[in-house]
Amino acid sequence: MLGSAVQHDHGAPFLDSAAPELKRLIETDECCAELVQGLRTRLAALIDEGQRRGEIDPRQQAAVLVGALFALLSPRSYSQMLATADIPAPEVNDALIRLYMRGIARDPAGIGRSQ
């Protein structure tokens, strides 16, 4: 199932029209759901650690940051981005990483953030 859902285009993998079936599988299959939850838990722990170390804005809730990362990496959004942007996939990937990491980074000046 996973092998047929992953397609390589522009040098980067993304889910094609099988995404709805894969989503259903992840939501209903206990093993897949446990894997996704484990990933979310580990990401939240990394975010918590980054907050303790002063690298990530401590005013942000870890659950929100984890959810934002999953949303940012949505297969549908990603494939649409590759299809409409005249940017190679590695550059898109780098831009997404910079966007997320700068967005959650601690802002010492507090610019643009509610206090």
Q: How many residues are there in the chain?
A: 115
Domain residue extents for the chain: 2-104
Q: Taking 50 as the threshold, does the pLDDT of residue 80 lie above it?
A: yes
Q: State both tokens at 33.
A: 């759901």
Whole-number pLDDT of residue 45: 96
Q: Taking 50 as the threshold, does the pLDDT of residue 9 lie above it?
A: no
**Residue of higher predicted confidence among 34 and 107:** 34
Least confident of 5-9, 37-41, 78-82: 5-9
Q: CA 69, 78, 92, 85: dihedral to nearest 10 degrees?
A: -140
pLDDT tens, 12-71?
A: 444 445 566 766 776 777 887 888 889 999 999 999 999 999 999 998 899 999 988 888
Task: Please report, in angstroms and rounded to a whole number, the separation of the first and last CA atoms in the chain.
Answer: 47
Residue (of 63, 71, 68) closest to 44 by Cα position: 63
